[in-house]
């Protein structure tokens, strides 16, 4: 095996595609609230709430006991919602921040403990171009992703002395269930603001992650890479 990779949110969408893409040469550990239909000798799935602290701790410790190490953490789990600020209820805010930020914090903290002892690790967080483009209707979602970006830069400093690289990818619109509820005019508006005015594809995401987790990228940390070109 090449690396032991932990990916959150693997039952569908980008997380599922990433898991399948990494399986041929790596051991992949995935998790989500629902079951996964990925069947492969190198894949193991955990049904947990990624915002449940005790479940996250148990999962990460279990992986350590079973495999001895965790080389890569990809914090993919996320949720999106478009709503005007004045009509957004507090439950929606809590849900968006829990899934998009709190889960990344919990997994980074627990996996970071293991990586710090093994003096090696690669962590990739998922942000969004929404954090940079300030699109109307995404105030809370963009704020949660902005928190991820600040967390990425700061944790890169705190974990760098343990030879742990922490970076983030700002995903542009990708054809997954996450954007089905977003009005077409809003998606078109977002795409128009990008330098490359196309939907992001799975290969675009995986190729970027491949670069970030490559051992040759040891000097790359604390960076936010926006796909599609956003200034």
Q: Where are the domains of the chain?
A: 4-226
Distance, CA of 46 to chain centre: 17
Phi, psi values for residue 2, rounded to 5°: -85, -60
**Under 8 Å between Cβ of 127 and 149:** yes
Mean pLDDT of the chain: 92
Read off the pLDDT of residues 127-151 as tens digits, 9 standing for 90 and up.
Answer: 998 888 887 788 999 999 999 999 9
Mean pLDDT of 185-197: 79
Q: What is the pLDDT of residue 175?
A: 73
Give the fold, CATH level 3, of 4-226: Rossmann fold (3.40.50)
Rounded mean pLDDT of 102-112? Answer: 98
Distances (CA, A) of 57 to 90, 108, 193, 201: 27, 11, 40, 32
Q: Is the pLDDT of residue 123 over 90?
A: yes
Query: In this predicted model, what pLDDT tens digit does every residue of 80-90 receive, in sequence order?
Result: 877 888 999 99
Q: Which are the contacts of 207, defined by CB distance < 8 A and separation ≥ 6? A: none
**The predicted structure's pLDDT at residue 228:** 86
- Return the bridge partners of 164, or none: 121
């Amino acid at each position: 095996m090449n690396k032991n990779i932990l990916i959150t949110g693997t039952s569908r969408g980008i997380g599922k595609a990433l898991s399948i893409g990494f399986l041929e040469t790596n051991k992949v550990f995935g998790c989500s609230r629902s079951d996964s239909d990925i069947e492969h000798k190198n894949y193991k799935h955990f049904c947990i709430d990624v915002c449940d602290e005790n479940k996250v701790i148990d999962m990460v410790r279990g992986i350590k006991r079973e495999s001895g190490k965790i080389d890569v953490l990809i914090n993919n789990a996320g949720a999106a919602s478009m709503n005007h600020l004045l009509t957004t209820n507090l439950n929606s805010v809590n849900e968006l921040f829990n899934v998009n930020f709190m889960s990344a914090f919990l997994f980074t903290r627990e996996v970071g403990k293991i990586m710090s002892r093994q003096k090696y690790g690669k962590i990739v967080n998922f942000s969004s171009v929404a954090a940079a483009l300030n699109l109307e209707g995404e105030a809370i979602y963009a704020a949660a992703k902005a928190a991820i970006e600040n967390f990425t830069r700061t944790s890169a400093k705190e974990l760098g002395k343990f030879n742990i690289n922490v970076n983030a990818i700002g995903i542009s619109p990708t054809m997954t269930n996450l954007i089905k509820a977003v009005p077409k005019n809003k998606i078109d508006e977002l795409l128009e603001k990008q330098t490359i005015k196309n939907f992001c594809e799975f290969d675009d995401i995986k190729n970027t992650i491949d670069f970030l987790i490559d051992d040759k990228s040891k000097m790359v940390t604390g960076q936010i890479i926006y796909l599609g070109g956003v200034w």
